[in-house]
Structure 1
Amino acid sequence: MLLPLLKAAAFAAVLGISTAKPLSSRQKPEPWGFFTNNTIYQTTGRESITYPRYAALGDGTILATASLSGQGGPGYFPIFESTDGGASWAQVSNLTDAVNGWGLSAQPALAELTEEMGGYPAGTILGSGNSWSNNGTRIDLYASTDRARTWEFVSHIAEGGRPNTTNGADPIWEPYLMVYDHQLVCYYSDQRDPLHGQKLAHQTSPDLRTWGPVVNDVAYDLYEARPGMTVVAYLPDPVDQWILVHERPIGNSSSHGVHYPVYYVMADSPLEFGQAVGRPIVVNNQTAPNASPYVVWSSAGGTPYGTIVVSDADRRQVYTNRYGGDPDRWEEHGTPAGAVYSRAIQILEGYPDHLLIYGGETFDDMGLGLHTPFSATVVDLEEVLTMPVDGYDD
């Protein structure tokens, strides 16, 4: 589990460096076009942007946020909006802690309600994140009925001990929100189970206020295995399954040269990942992504299965699979985007060949005053699939 401000120094080596820079005026992006490193927010002072997240709304609007550190005072998540495929952005609000007095420290999550739930209409924006202090860690739920302009507290989803990544401590981390089967699902990383240094779990709510029991999604028999950072995507017919990606650090060991190898689990239901077996993503038995993965699916790619696209924290490349998750068919392809701590990726609605890659800073660059912007890069996925690993390198 990678965690800002808490990650052990021995595991903090980053294999790639973000090269995100603002576009010049001559390179001003066109709406719904392709462009590189378009600035969403320019950091100043000691600020750092990491852990970007987004919600793709039904009308094509994108809401994006990130973990903003170094700004002083309690943490919060700035919320940005784009209505033209990431070409232009406007800040519309800040999502702040309204109940704990701890701030919203890290690991934001956004989602849109696709149906009425708990008295909130379809189209309501949901926000979450980790609020922590020496008193504990809390994953809280907020809602906005005016397209993320204002927010109200809804419920405490789960609570753990103070932030501490040591095995035997009992915090919780890294929420991921999804609407499924007339309920809200909140996935998160959980250190509270004495049988596991860390596991992945979820809880569900039909009304956004009452939450069901903790259900295991990924829990390895080896206590030291620490799966973290759940992200989920649906793979339509002919696969008709759900995929969950996560990192799986195991003490000081490594896999194909990485300490936080990326695994994936596939299941018929996103509520039944615990019945499946995790598999590592490995390319040609020699290369593996490292840490904080993100996964999306696109109908592009030239096969009946479409394309699974996975990003990691340490490289500008992406990892793709055009054969429904076949463990022997993963590929690695270059992109012009930089490495980012917990980099998010997105397929634009209605544009299956438009892969949006969010930019920010690597873990090791946080707090150095590099003024790396929060940025958006949109690449042609069909082109990416033809690129070698270093196809976009300078």
Structure 2
Amino acid sequence: MTTLVLPGADGSMQPYTLVGQPLVRPATPPRFNRIAYAAAHVVSDPLRDVAPWDRPAIDWDATLRFRHHLWGLGFKIAEAMDTAQRGMGLDWAGAQELIRRSLAEARAVEGADLACGAGTDQLAPADARSLDDVIRAYEEQVGFVEGEGGRAVMMASRALARVARSGNDYRTVYGRILSQAKEKVVLHWLGEAFDRQLAGYWGSSEFEPALETVLGIIEDNRDKVEGIKISLLDDRLEIALRDRLPEGVLCFTGDDFNYAPLIEGDGARHSHALLGIFDAVAPAASLGLSCLAEGDGEGFRAAIEPTVPLSRKIFEAPTQYYKAGVVFLAWLNGHQNHFSMPAGLQSARGILHYVDVFRFADQADVLDDPDLAVMRMRTLLAMNGLG
């Protein structure tokens, strides 16, 4: 057993002995009975990063290798979403390149699938003057995704949150974009915990009026909506939405606190998944979903439930900085050779946060190479004066 010395919240240094066991990878991509999208991160290139806050450089080879890792575990990929630091280090030009490269890569991989985030982040919220400004921004991004042969996830818009005055404004904008879409679209309900600029989205700060607006948009455009991802970190609200969706419209959980029971369901209804945490816990999530597809609920819970404390730590407030924990685990697991992020976002969390993530990852069996993880954890501690 491997032991290292880790700091505690009280400033003391205590030995910690690893308890986890690396999971065996499937020989071929497994099949699930839930649609499971992993929202994937991007890998920065620190050797070309001359202005990481303004013009971050992306390591395209490592970024695409990570997509193969997810496809090999049976996941679809939610590309260029908030996990890829959209609006927090990855701008629209970078997102276009990411979408173009990932779609091309997917076409060369049997069974690979992905959907791509389309929003309005090329339009600064302060520059939005009207709904037409927002519509034009959405049209550009959805048009780009579909022009490249992809399917769109219609991301929440900071610009729309700024200029909209009622739920009817949202119905106008979404109705216009959905009416033009060539393929079915996944809508995205991203809560204020993830992005404070989305406060009052759908025209209300209260859930029930917002829900009515969302359901109205879906009912008006049923033939263009595949489903909706809801990320409010409250399972009761997700179930309330799920129970009222029209037949054939899917609910994708984005609840990184309560995903395990939401995916398993209550026997009558269940959620599919579009989750950033699946980037970080892909082997365990893949094993759990494989068990669920075989009717083994106990096996699903045994694999997935230990990842929940880890996810709750990674997504703790301020929740929008969860990307740092996701990339930290990618580094620990050898998917990239550095812990450097676009816009330097690794600095958004403190050393004690990363120490807790390390412990929870070990206990969830998601450290693929414990010796490598320990070596890199020791390096991080030494960089913070704890070596």
Same fold (TM over 0.5): no
Give TM-score, length-normalised by structure 2: 0.34
Larger relative contact order, structure 1 or 2 (CA cutoff 8 Å, min sep 6): 2
Q: Is the radius of gyration larger for structure 1 or structure 2?
A: 2
- Structure having the higher strand fraction is 1
- Structure having the higher helix fraction is 2
